[in-house]
Amino acid sequence: MSEFGERIEAAIPALRRYARALTRDAETADDIVQDTLVRALRSEHLFHGGDTRAWLYTILTNLNRNRLRALSRRPILAPIKDEDAATSGSESGGRDIARALDELAEDQRSALLLVVLEGLTYREVAEVQGVPIGTVMSRLSRARTQIKAYLDDERPALRRVK
Amino acid sequence: MIERDQIVSEDELNAYVDGELPADRRGVIEAWLATHPDDAAKVSAWRKQVELIRARYGALADEKPPQQLSIARLTRRRYGAMVAAAAAVVAAFLIGGVAGWIARGVEAAAPSDLTVFTADALDAYRLYVVEVRHPVEVPGDQRPHLVEWLSKRVGSPLRAPELDKMGLKLVGGRLLPGPTGATAFFMYEGPSGERFTLYCGRTSDQETALRYTAGEHNAAYYWVDQNLAYVLSGPAERDKLHDIAQAAYDQIDQRRPQQGG
């Protein structure tokens, strides 16, 4: 396998983690990871050094954004699958955080996960999302405020119909 | 001026939690938190969120990724596909019924927009493959005319893949209504009369790798490439169908200069 292929392969576990948290659905997550890998392999000649991992996160983030856009155009074909949240009854903390993530706007969720789960710096997240650092920071701030409000809220959560 | 230095913004609290703060501000923030319990509670709640997220999803990175995500497999499927596919077909004919080895692990389809497209394509497949006298509108010996006509109607340059190496001859094609408008339909036939069809129309969906879906007697591989959705349908022999779909996918993929993204 080429060095390029090896570097991509090394990133797969982290990509799966990010995709799972981003989509909260195991099957969708692995589909997106696969599409990301296919894209990356196809675009090897466009990759001129730099951080392979950040580049892969960028592809995955864009693919997921496109996916959500496509789903919003065809709501009937987009059953809300929440197996991740539903099957984690044993750890109530996990269940809550999954639901809380679910409530966030996509760009906020992606910014937060890239920082706290994937360990990217603010600058790297800004590059992945194609926005200034200030925008990343306000996304983080809003995400955290919203999650806190959600977790603090004692009322039974209403499932949002998207 | 000390006052100005000591005002702590929300952004700085975030940066503090994420370890992004310049060293010289850390002490300032810590002093601030000692005297501002609201902000201290906020910071502690945010740290708790980090823990919850890591506890919930962190372990996934220690799992062995499934086969479908192996780079060796994805690479082989892209670049070695023609050779491997031809070998698989030969093996299938010789051994008969032996499962091919390159198609295992291609994931079952996730629900998506393409579902409608694929359902329509399978309907068209079932409707036309049984036709004896009029399976197509334009016969395959007029390939350039057929492709030009369908490209024009679909509104995008199309290509009828050459599948002769897989033993498949282009029977011809027809124009069909599809979920997004005019849709092209190409039919191929193998030496023992088995038929395969390629259904293709415009879509705004994002690109995908090959996806598989199966009915009782027939099955399809479908994918999106460059604003066109493709569905390759045929008898429900997954390995053989995969090889044909892969050959079609590769030819369509090579039609254009490579683009990334």
Q: B159 in a domain, yes or no?
A: yes
CATH of the domain at A122: 1.20.140.160
B196, amino acid identity: F
Residue numbers in A near B204 (CB within 8 A): 70, 73
Looking at the fold, whether B113 and B212 belong to one and the same domain comes out as yes
Cα of B7 to nearest chain A Cα, Å: 17
| Structural element, H or E, at residue B248 | helix B238-254
Q: Are B167 and B89 in contact (CB under 8 A)?
A: yes
Residue B195, classed as helix, strand or coil, is strand
Q: A53 in a domain, yes or no?
A: yes
Looking at the fold, whether B120 and B233 belong to one and the same domain comes out as yes
CA distances to A126, B173, B186, B229 from B136, in Å: 53, 5, 8, 21
Looking at the fold, whether B123 and B245 belong to one and the same domain comes out as yes
> From the list B42, B49, B258, which residue is nearest A42 (CB)?
B258
Residue B137, classed as helix, strand or coil, is coil
Looking at the fold, whether B136 and B196 belong to one and the same domain comes out as yes
A89 pLDDT tier (thresholds 50, 70, 90): very low
Q: B166 in a domain, yes or no?
A: yes
pLDDT above 90 covers a percentage of chain B that reads 42
pLDDT at residue number B113: 61
CA distances to A15, A63, A109, B110, B221 from A66, in Å: 17, 5, 15, 15, 21
Residue numbers in A near B54 (CB within 8 A): 116-117
Give mean pLDDT, residues A14-18.
96
Looking at the fold, whether B217 and B125 belong to one and the same domain comes out as yes
Looking at the fold, whether B133 and B242 belong to one and the same domain comes out as yes
Looking at the fold, whether B133 and B234 belong to one and the same domain comes out as yes
Least Cα distance to B245 among B221, B227, B229, B226 occurs for B221
Looking at the fold, whether B58 and B161 belong to one and the same domain comes out as no
Q: B54 in a domain, yes or no?
A: yes
Average pLDDT, chain A: 81
Verify whether the Cβ–Cβ distance B53 to A70 is below 8 Å: no
Q: Which of A83-87, B81-85, B189-193 has the lowest average pLDDT?
A: A83-87
Q: How many domains does chain A have?
A: 1
Kindly identify which residue of chain B lies nearest to residue A27, measuring between CA atoms.
B110
Residue numbers in A near B11 (CB within 8 A): 134, 137-138, 141
- Does the pLDDT value for residue A86 go beyond 80? no
Q: A24 in a domain, yes or no?
A: yes
Q: B53 in a domain, yes or no?
A: yes
Q: B86 in a domain, yes or no?
A: no
Looking at the fold, whether B159 and B31 belong to one and the same domain comes out as no
pLDDT above 70 covers a percentage of chain A that reads 77
Q: Give the tens place of pLDDT for each residue, B102-136.
A: 333 333 333 356 777 888 898 899 888 888 888 89
Q: B140 in a domain, yes or no?
A: yes
Kindly identify which residue of chain B lies nearest to residue A148, measuring between CA atoms.
B45
B191, amino acid identity: P
pLDDT at residue number B83: 54
Q: Which of A15-24, A134-143, B187-196 has the lowest average pLDDT?
A: B187-196
> From the list B14, B20, B71, which residue is nearest A144 (CB)?
B14
Range of the domain at B215: 109-254
Looking at the fold, whether B43 and B140 belong to one and the same domain comes out as no
Q: A19 in a domain, yes or no?
A: yes
Q: A105 in a domain, yes or no?
A: yes
Q: Are A142 and A108 in contact (CB under 8 A)?
A: yes
> From the list B11, B18, B107, which residue is nearest A31 (CB)?
B107
Q: B79 in a domain, yes or no?
A: no
pLDDT at residue number B88: 55
CA dihedral for A141, A139, A57, A19, sign (positive or negative): positive
Range of the domain at A74: 3-152
Q: A158 in a domain, yes or no?
A: no
Burial B163-189 (b: 16+ CB within 10 A, else e): beebbbebbbbbbbebbbebbbbbbbb
Kindly identify which residue of chain A lies nearest to residue B15, measuring between CA atoms.
A137
Looking at the fold, whether B140 and B213 belong to one and the same domain comes out as yes
Q: B75 in a domain, yes or no?
A: no
Q: A116 in a domain, yes or no?
A: yes
Cα of B31 to nearest chain A Cα, Å: 21
Give mean pLDDT, residues A10-24.
94
Verify whether the Cβ–Cβ distance B107 to A34 is below 8 Å: yes
Q: A161 in a domain, yes or no?
A: no
Q: Give the tens place of pLDDT for each residue, B132-146.
A: 888 899 999 999 999
Verify whether the Cβ–Cβ distance B18 to A93 is below 8 Å: no
Verify whether the Cβ–Cβ distance A35 to B20 is below 8 Å: no
Q: How many domains does chain B have?
A: 2
Q: Are A8 and A56 in contact (CB under 8 A)?
A: yes
CATH of the domain at B169: 3.30.200.100
ipTM over 0.85: no
Looking at the fold, whether B23 and B135 belong to one and the same domain comes out as no
Cα of B227 to nearest chain A Cα, Å: 13
pLDDT at residue number B186: 96
Q: Give the tens place of pLDDT for each residue, B160-215.
A: 999 999 899 999 999 998 888 899 999 999 888 889 999 999 988 778 888 888 87
Q: A77 in a domain, yes or no?
A: yes
A68 pLDDT tier (thresholds 50, 70, 90): confident
Verify whether the Cβ–Cβ distance A74 to B66 is below 8 Å: no
Residue B107, classed as helix, strand or coil, is coil
